[in-house]
Each structure stands twice: as C-alpha cells, then as structure tokens.
Structure 1
Amino acid sequence: MNTFKDDKQRAILKEHKVIQSLATGPTVFDETFDLGNFKKKFGIVVVRYEHYEIEFDLIGIHPSLVNAFRRLILSDVPSMAIEKVHVYNNTTIIQDEVLAHRLGLIPLKADARLFEYRTNENADYTDNDSLEFELKIKCTFNKELNNSSCADDLYKNNNVYSKHIKWLPRGNQLKLYKEIDVGPIHDDILIAKMRPGHELDLKLIAVKSCGRDHAKFSPVATAFYRLLPEIKLTRQVEGEAAERLQKCFSPGVIAIEKNEAGKQIATVRNARYDMSSRNVYRYEDLKDAVVLSKIQDHFIFTIESVGAMSSDVIFKEAVGLLKKKCLCLLEELQT
C-alpha cells in the first residue's frame, strides 16, 4: 500500500492500528545496502543549536544506526565525575554514603578527552587520570544579626553549594588547567543544609569513565530521537470544524487562514511539532479529513548536554566511537 506514491516509506497512524505505506523505490530498509545510494540520500540538517542542546534531523538512515548513536552517547562517551570521597569529618544529618552519592552527581567542567582511563584501580592517582577537590566548610552563628528569624540571616554557611568545592591541583595540572575549567558546571547546586556545629571536611577524587560504568559519567541529561510526523489534509476543513481540528493537535501544527472567499480554513503549518495524539479520530466528521503518518527514515534527534562538552561535540564523539568499534570488528574477523 502506498498512499503518498513517493520514495518515502511511512507508518500511517490509523485510529486503532498502524499500517505501512511502502515506497515506490529502494529505501534504507532494503536487504541490499548500497553505499552510493546511501551517500546520495543521507543528510543532516541542524534545526536548533544551543551550547547545551541541539536538535537536528538525520535523513535517509536506518533506525539501527540512529539507535546506535543514542546508546553510544548515553553509555560510551566518557566524562569526568567524582568517584571517591574521603570523609575526614561529617557532622551533618546526611549520611556519608548519601553525601558521596550526591557529590558524584554534580557535573564537572573538566574535558574528559584531556585525561586517561585508570587501568589499575590499586595504583596511585596521577595528574593524568584524576582531579582532586576538597570541600571544607563549617556552619556558625551570625553574630552581626540577632533580630531576624530567617535561617540565611541567623547562620553563616548554612547552605552548602557546589561553589564551595575547591580544586587542588596536583603535579603539572596548574600549568595545564584553570579552576574555572575543571570545577562544577553550576555554582548553585545545593549539596547539604547545616546548622551551627555542623561541619564538612572532605577530599574528592574525580576520574574518567562512561555511563556504562555509572549514570553519573554520562555526558548528557538525555539523548533521544523520534520519527518525523507528517500530516496531510485530504479535503478542505472550514469554520467551526477547522477550529476543532486545530485543537486536536499540538500548538503550531494546524493554522487557520482565510481563503479567497473569506472563509476560515485549516492548513498544516508545521507537522514537526505534532506528538501523534490521534485526537482527531474522536470526531466522526474529521476522521476522513486527515492522514497521519511518520516518515520511517527521517529522525528528529535531540541531545541535551550536562555542560562538560557541547552537544555537537558529544555527537561527533559518538560517531568516532562507532567507527572504532567497526574497525575493531573488522580486525577480529580478519584474524
């Protein structure tokens, strides 16, 4: 079945099922892979880019490759995170293990590409494979203010933030890095609350690893993809029905415009933002007016970095890792 009669393979969303709309020509889903056709059809289009977030389209690519990139980003692209916490003094109400877990989840600015993996867990930490920090803080009464009931006025250092973590350079690190380049990404991450008499004295060791080892080493807050939605109006919808049709979709998907006769009609403005709710099938008079589908080789990919590396660099690292894994597999097959 091919409702659209073009070279795109689609999944058509019916009220209670999904059916396939086969393409008229060869696609990435064909059994025989042709590198020349892949190069002609494959494309990357950056839709939105910020330092910490990127949204781009992968066009003409098999879902298995897209999912491989997603999994590599989450599990194999390395980052730096606090791994060891030496507790010299902790008189707060937070248990040592809970405190260590919270510290490990604080994202660091340090670029993992500049460090080495630790191959021997029993070996001493070096300036090439680790970063050392300290967190030393004590809560006291604020003697300057006595007429306030606010904790921030009554006490000093009652809130412990990530900005209180100080870098202790070792070896040649002071010549290579600056504290602003290796410390916590955000200064206002709350670690603990204290009262007079509470004190923290900790030494923190950050190492290089990946999300496969622990989620705290994943360089992204999330990385996900979805198929590009497509909406086709099969007939003109006007008046009150057009307003109902507009409310069936996410904001910005359906627009209402005036035609030459002055009637308000529904038009597809941007199907990209549709979340495929299929609410339109609730109305008997609108069911036959719309064809909902998803293009099966067009992916909307979103990466949200925690801040150590920009989102586009993370994707490039994932591509490089996939290439290394493929070369390693080829070497194994040849031996």
Structure 2
Amino acid sequence: MEILEKNDINLRLIVRDADVPLMNALRRLALAEVPCMAIEEVVMIENSSVLQDEIIAHRLGLIPLRTDIDTYNPPEACECQSEFGCPKCRVTLTLDAEAKDGTRTVYSGEIVSENPEVLPVSDKVPIIKLAKNQKLKLEAYARLGRGKVHAKWQPVSQCTYKYYPKITTPSELCEDCSKCADICPKKVLSAKDGKIDVRDLLGCTMCMDCVEACPKGKASPLKIEWEKNQFIINVESTGALPPERVLKEATKLLGKQLNEFEEQIKAEQQQ
C-alpha cells in the first residue's frame, strides 16, 4: 500500500497485488458492516416548536457522532440484552434550548453528552429554528449500529475504488491537434509543440473521451488502459471514525467472515 492523501476525514491509497472481489468486499464492509454511533431513540420532554417530534428525532439521528467502538458493545452483543440498553451499550445525550429574546437556530453544538468522547462531529449542524418563547427539551440515546440497517450508521460518506490508470501517449508528434488534451474533463493530458504528455495520471477516470476525440479513430496511438491488480481506493469518513480505522475494521471483519465461512465448509465436509 502507498498513501496518496490522508487527513482527518479522507484517506486515499494505492493498493497493489489485489483483485476486484477483495476491493469490492472492503468497500461493502466499510459501508454496511463497520459500526458507528447514532441516535436511535429520542424522548421528548417539551417541544413547543412548529415541528413534530418525529421530524426532530429524524434530524437528530442523522447527525454524525464521534464513535468510541472500543468502549461500547453492539446492542445484540451486550450482556444486558435489554431494549433500553445499559452504560456499556448506550450513550445518553440531552438538549435543552429556548428562544427567550427572539427567533434563533438550535445547533448540534448544544447537545450535551454523558461521555465527552461521543459528541456530534460538527457543532454547526442546524437542528431546528425556534421562535420567541418556544422551547425544545429532550433526551436522546445513541447506540452502535451498522449501515446495512440504516444509513445513519454508515461511518463513511463514500468508499470507492478504481483501477490504477495506465496511459500510453503517441511517440510521434501530433501536428496541429490537441483535441485529446482539450476534451479531458480532468485535464490529465497536456499538449505542447505537438507532443502529448501525461500531467496528472491519478486523475484519469478512464472515460475514454480523449481516445474517441482523436481524429485517427481506432488507429489512435493514444492508449488508455489500467494496471492489473492495482487500485486506488478512497475512503471519506463522516467523522464518526478516522478513515484509517474504518479500513482497518473492514479488514478485520473480512478476515472474521472468511474464517467463519471456512469453518462452515469444514463442518459440511465432516457430515
């Protein structure tokens, strides 16, 4: 692996000696199986706003929460086995907002958590607008969940991969023609003095527009291909988990599922 880009929410890697089934499995696991925290239940104590309780609860559920997956258990794996949860599988959050002097907007930064490690990723997510003398008071419960159950439990906003591009440019000069470079939406190619050069290889999406724009048609010396068993994967986190942790957890889950599948095969063979 080679890291191309890394920050708090985005991770871009070159993965070598892999194949499509492996890359797609990691992508699907990151989207659907890696757990993160989200608000599941809301108890409305007072709501004098114009919005119904259900709409506010839905908005709260979609606010990404920083997740501590090492401390909390998934509800189905917690020893309490209670629909109400316990401190080992549930985080309690509260919100008490009031518009005293005039209309104001209530933001996610006003949510108070019993665990300072589990809070909204951003303080600036608008929840509701309150008119003068309106009040919103509630208690919410967040639990670990998976994206296959609801999108609010997806730790990533996107997880994609593509082949590593391979571009062969003409060895001879292309006189008075720069159509392939001009049509490229990503400006991957550059034309200068009749010569076509690759300016940004990793930006190529292999759309083939440049090849189709060549006046030589199928005889075009410009070739857009991809490296076999080499990919670029991009993981963009919602902020619930660091992107490298998402990829690590997806890898662990894949290993666990493969081991379970192997055990099932062995059990079938022994029967």
TM-score of the pair, normalised by structure 1? 0.73
Cα distance in 1 between the residues matched to 2:262 and 2:146:
24
Greater C-alpha Rg: 1
Q: Give the 3-state SS of the residue equivalent to 1:182 in structure 2.
A: coil
CA RMSD, aligned part only?
A: 1.9
Q: Kindly provide the amino acid, as one letter, of the partner of residue 269 in structure 1.
A: R
Q: Which runs of 5+ in 1 are unaligned?
A: 1-43, 142-154, 170-176, 258-262
Alignment of 1:1-335 (within 5 A): 44-119=1-76, 122-141=82-101, 155=102, 158-167=104-113, 169=114, 177=115, 179=116, 181-238=117-174, 240-242=176-178, 244-257=179-192, 263-280=193-210, 281-285=212-216, 288-335=220-267
Aligned pair count reads: 262
Q: Is the 8 A contact 1:245 1:286 kept in 2?
A: no
Q: Residue type matched to 1:227 in 2?
A: Y
The secondary structure found in structure 2 opposite 1:241 is coil
Report deviation, 1:317. 0.6
**How far apart are the structure 1 equivalents of 2:108 and 2:251?**
32
Cα pair 2:38 2:61 within 8 Å, conserved: yes
**C-alpha contact (below 8 Å) 2:183/2:213 kept by paired residues:** no
Change (3 A) 1:93 1:132: same
Query: Which amino acid in 2 is paired with 1:164?
Result: E
SS of corresponding position for 2:260: helix
**Whole-Å separation in 2 of the counterparts to 1:85 and 1:227:** 44
Q: Bigger shift: 244-253 or 98-107?
A: 244-253
How far apart in 2 are the matches of 1:122 and 1:283? Answer: 66
Q: Is the 8 A contact 1:229 1:272 kept in 2?
A: yes
Identity over aligned residues, as a percent?
A: 26
Secondary structure of the structure 1 residue equivalent to 2:70: helix
More off after superposition, 291-300 vs 247-256: 247-256
For structure 2, list consecutive stretches of 5 or more residues without a partner in the other structure: none
Paired amino acid for 1:162: S
